[in-house]
Amino acid sequence: MKFKLNIPAALLIFLILYVLLLGVRPLVSPDEARYVEIPREMLADHDYVTPRLNGARYFEKPIMGYWLIAGAMRVFGENAFAGRFAPAVSTGLAALIVLLLAQKMTGRREVGWFAAGTFLLMPLVFIVGTTCTLDAIFSLFVTATVAAFYCAMEGFLEKKPVKCVLWLLATGAAAGCAFLVKGFLAFALPVMAVLPWLVWEKRWKAIFTLPWLPFVVALIVIAPWAILIHRAQPDYWRYFIVDEHLNRFGLMGEAKVEHPHGPFFFVLTLLWGAGEWFLLAPAIGLGFRKIGVRGKENSWIRFLICWFAGPFLFLSASSGKLPTYILPCFPALAIMVSAALFRYFEERPDGKGRLFNVPLMILGGGLALAIVAGLVAVCLGLPGRFGITVFEKNETWKCFILFNMLVLTLLGTAAAFTEKKPARKLSYFIAAVMPAFIGTFFVIPQRFYDVRSMGRFLEECRDEITPDTLIISRGTDFHAVCYFYKRNDVYLLSPGELTYGMAYPEDKPRELLYSTGGRTEDDPRVGVRQFLKENPGRKVVMFFPASHFYRIRQQSGSFPDPLLVKKSIESDPETKKADGFVMVRFQ
């Protein structure tokens, strides 16, 4: 079965979604602002050993992810495109590994190209790959670690020692890089993926002999920076190992659980994270059943099962969960989806597969209803009658894009449904979902960015900021303030995630939350009033979530009367129901 359309399709998916449109969306706080600010300070201070945030030591992650983002910022400038470039390229390289590994496992090039396209068009992969965080970079190196070990095991079984050793060296190098991005999960996740497979295959000799070389190579990769950070910051490894790892699992007392969720959180994440591919679950399931898991020739499918299930179950057992944690499971899922769909259509060369076509009918029907309902709602003015506002008046062009996105997806779905040749049928399905992914760059309401992105508001307030202006920030706003104003001396009402870093004597004075009676974390007024007394005549500006500012302002003994209050959302009520931000100038 020829599959010519998927070769350019996979490349176009990456170029359009992960390169050309990368800088369209503004940076979102706090995560994206954090992960562009740390590399910005690294470049500004010429300190490539110690991660710092707002000038304070920030030891939650190792260094390599910041290096890669900083490198992109050095080349492309300090902007959203540069901040997201390293995660996007990492996702593209992970897709390349998926392509090559799927081709090796199945012996079919078309399966590899379709697997790469499948991977790039999974919603979780897309969201993480176009967002400035470290997860896509980490997932790339974990993917490379697992894939390299599979190739090493192939050399081991073929009794080709040179091939085996070279791939083991690559395994260790990738694992070391993964550690330098996110820590000890770099070892845990590959072990959870590979060890069950080796046990399933009864490769006892490999279990006890092959891991040592990768482990030594990983240590060699880690060692230079590990030594440099120890010399520069002797407390780094104690904090990173004890506070960031052991305490989170309760091994040093009560566990510090962040983002607590139940055991089925990742099951729900998988449902929306794989998105449109779950619509094809009946066809995928039957194709997977046809492949089977028994027999020597199906060792590769057992490997993929273990690669997906091992880390998934391991992460599900932890108390703290974020959707991005299971991203390293998705390369295996993409290969299994591609192989299963091709196997399903091998027995249906005429393209008449009910298990594939019926979900397309359901999807098409849903899209048609959405289009009709949207047109009726707009023509009758129903959103206004019920007080529902999705887009502002100046965002009507987004409605036009949303309408066209739905129409193009419907047409692509119809083309996939009516096509008889399986190769084209699968290609049309990929083409059908592409408009939905492209549209997400444009149709998100501005209201969302007004609440989650401070960039535009900070630019509007730039005239109030001079080099000698003292800036105060609260909560998670300070990342964006530091980044857009190129400052690393922002005063904080509460240290939050910088609690460790600001405990150092040179950074402690920039925490304003103090009083003669001790810490008063629920009342920032004391710290602000005292700060103004200690800096008479200085220009002082504070950035605040509007809801918090108005709530505190209504209380007795509030802030001094400001000279200026500027809102990011003019329509915001001056109550605790406000959604945006305020800039307050005190003196």
Q: What is the pLDDT of residues 528-556, one digit of tens each?
A: 888 888 888 889 999 988 888 888 777 76
- Which amino acid type is present at position 558? S
Among 347-356, 424-433, 436-445, 452-461, the minimum mean pLDDT is found in 347-356
φ and ψ at 545, to 5 degrees?
Answer: -60, 130
- Which of 142, 143, 214 has the alpha carbon at shortest distance from 185? 142
pLDDT at residue number 514: 41
> What pLDDT score does 5 carry?
44
What pLDDT score does 509 carry?
Answer: 64
Alpha helices for 183-261 (secondary structure H) = 185-201, 204-209, 212-232, 236-238
> Average pLDDT for residues 467-473, to the nearest whole number?
90
Residues paired with 566 in a beta bridge: 583
Non-local (6+) Cβ contacts of 66 within 8 A are 35, 38, 39, 42, 51
Is the predicted pLDDT of residue 381 greater than 90, yes or no?
Answer: no
Backbone angles phi, psi at 333, to 5 degrees: -60, -40
Q: Tokens in use for 575?
A: 């109550």
Element (H, E) at 330: helix 330-346
As a whole number, mean pLDDT of residues 423-452 equals 89
Give me the mean pLDDT over the 142-148 stretch: 98
pLDDT of residue 508: 63
Say whether pLDDT at 323 is over 60.
Answer: yes
340-374 pLDDT tens trace: 999 999 888 777 789 999 999 999 999 999 999 88
Residue 552: per-residue pLDDT = 79
Dihedral, CA atoms, 409, 411, 412, 415, nearest 10 degrees? Answer: 160
Query: Cα–Cα distance between 103 and 335 in angstroms, integer?
Result: 9
User: How far is residue 543 from each of residues 87, 464, 467, 531, 586, measured CA to CA in Å?
Assistant: 29, 12, 16, 15, 11
Quote the percentage of the chain above a pLDDT of 70.
91
Which residue from 29, 25, 27, 45 is spatially nearest to 497, judged by alpha carbons?
A: 29
- Using the predicted structure, report yes or no on whether residue 65 has a pLDDT greater than 50: yes
- Asked whether 137 and 342 are in contact (CB, 8 A), the reply is no
pLDDT at 124 over 70: yes
- How many other CB atoms are there within 10 angstroms of residue 450's CB atom? 19
pLDDT of residue 520: 43
* pLDDT tier, 3 (very low <50, low <70, confident <90, very high otherwise): very low
The phi, psi pair for 320, rounded to 5°, reads -85, 130
- Answer yes or no: is pLDDT of 522 > 60: no
- Classify residue 321 by burial, with Cβ atoms within 10 Å: 0-12, 13-18, 19+: buried
Q: What is the DSSP letter of 421?
A: S
Over 50: is that where the pLDDT of 517 sits? no
Distance, in Å, from the CA atom of 324 to the CA atom of 70, rounded to the nearest integer, reads 22
Q: What is the mean pLDDT of the chain?
A: 88
How do residues 248-291 score in pLDDT, each as one tens digit?
Answer: 654 555 556 666 777 889 999 999 999 999 999 999 999 999 99
pLDDT value of residue 512: 61
Categorize the per-residue pLDDT at 2 as very low, low, confident or very high, splitting at 50, 70 and 90: very low
Please say if the pLDDT value at position 378 is more than 80: no
